[in-house]
Amino acid sequence: MKLKIKRSVITLSLVVCSLIVNAQTYSSEAGLQTDNDSYLFQGSDRYYTDGLFLFYRHALATTNNAKLQNKVLGFEVGQKIFNPQTGNIPTATGVDRPFAGYLYAGASLNLLYKNESNLKLSVQTGVIGPAAKGEQAQKFVHDTFGFYSINGWKYQIQNAFQLNLSAEYNRLLYRNDEGFDVSGSAYANLGTGFTGAGVGPLFRLGKLGKLFNSVSTQSTAITKQNADKDHKGEFFIHFKPQFNYVAYDATIEGGLFSNKEPGSLEITAKPVRTIFSNQLGASYVTKRWVIDYTATFPTKVVNPQRYSQQWASITLMYRFN
């Protein structure tokens, strides 16, 4: 009897370990991302101060395509909130970065190739200005959690319709057997709100998934037919230095085609055209969950900006069929 019990315990343990280690394939995922400078635990509340995004992604079939390994259709809605050095600005002289909200809905198509390169095409439509409800969202958070009073949104960017297109390209450059790889990353934005481009390497170290089925390329959703049989989840740290060129930013300069209304207190500024940023974080992909924490440290985005800008992002996705 003791031998049977011991065998049963061993068998059950092996089954449990197998379920933990062997990653399952799921063609859909949904979740959210929250951005906030408070996630760096430095007590700051400035510049890009808050963001909230909801995502749904679904993997599509890649039948009769010899080069394509995965194809993911994505939908998202989101809001970004910007304020000056603090959310409490009693006079216009304290506005070293304009108040602005950006509210949008978007869709994307992510094409991921067997050679571990991918091209992600996205479109977003939305609004900046009071219609984006940035003031209301920030006041709700501060009132709910007992933070300081908000003052200064009367200086915010005026309403303007937004239509923005973007393309992102990634490609594996090097990988060794010790769990380290390097890939190249580039993006370009064109629209009434955001126009610019950026380029930089991505370094990863740990338990890595291939780039056609990885949190690094937003491709953890994949069909069973396209899944990598050796894929057993991910757990790695990542570092991404990046050079960015800003041709236009409506949250700083105001709407591309809008004119300042009579009596408006709107304060705009000129963006810094070249920005360097560093991203550092960790990613974890289990059977059902995708978890990521990333801290971002860019150089100043506006002249004169009194302090540096920094924030962290927390992403949580649930995978299903």
Higher pLDDT, 1 or 281: 281
What is the 3-state secondary structure of the chain? CHHHHHHHHHHHHHHHHHHHHCCCCCCEEEEEEEEEHHHHCCCCCCEEEEEEEEEEEEEECCCCCCCEEEEEEEEEEEEEEEECCCCECCCHHHCCCCCEEEEEEEEEEEEEECCCEEEEEEEEEEEECHHHCHHHHHHHHHHHHCCCCCECHHHCCCCEEEEEEEEEEEEEEEECCCCEEEEEEEEEEEECCEEEEEEEEEEEEEECCCCCCCHHHCCCCCCHHHCCCCCCCEEEEEEEEEEEEEEEEHHHHCCCCCCCCCCCCCCCCCECCEEEEEEEEEEEECCCEEEEEEEEEECCCECCCCCCCCEEEEEEEEEEC
pLDDT of 18 > 60? The answer is no
Higher pLDDT, 141 or 1: 141
* pLDDT tens-place string over residues 98-122: 999 999 999 999 999 999 999 999 9
* pLDDT tens-place string over residues 268-308: 999 999 999 999 999 999 999 999 999 999 999 998 899 98
Average of per-residue pLDDT across 195-220: 97
Instruction: Work out the percent of the chain whose per-residue pLDDT is above 70.
Output: 93
pLDDT of 167 > 70? The answer is yes
Q: How much is the pLDDT for 122?
A: 98
pLDDT of 13 > 70? The answer is no
pLDDT of 3 > 90? The answer is no
pLDDT band at 2 (very low <50, low <70, confident <90, very high): very low
* Ramachandran sector of residue 10 (left: φ over 0; alpha: ψ -120 to 50; beta: rest): alpha
Q: How far apart are CA 270 and CA 105, in angstroms?
A: 26
Mean of per-residue pLDDT scores for the chain: 92
Q: How far apart are CA 30 and CA 28, in angstroms?
A: 7
Say which CATH architecture domain 26-320 belongs to.
Answer: Beta Barrel (2.40)
How do the domains of the chain map onto residue ranges? 26-320
Radius of gyration of the chain (CA): 22
* pLDDT tens-place string over residues 31-83: 999 999 999 998 889 999 999 999 999 999 998 888 999 999 999 999 999 99
pLDDT of 10 > 70? The answer is no
pLDDT of 186 > 90? The answer is yes
pLDDT band at 5 (very low <50, low <70, confident <90, very high): very low
pLDDT of 17 > 60? The answer is no
Q: How much is the pLDDT for 187?
A: 98
Instruction: Work out the percent of the chain whose per-residue pLDDT is above 90.
Output: 83
pLDDT band at 7 (very low <50, low <70, confident <90, very high): low
pLDDT band at 157 (very low <50, low <70, confident <90, very high): very high
**Nearest C-alpha neighbor of 96 from the set 106, 86, 105:** 86
* pLDDT tens-place string over residues 139-152: 999 999 999 999 99
Q: How much is the pLDDT for 23?
A: 54
CA atoms within 13 A on the CB side of 66: 0
Q: How much is the pLDDT for 77?
A: 98
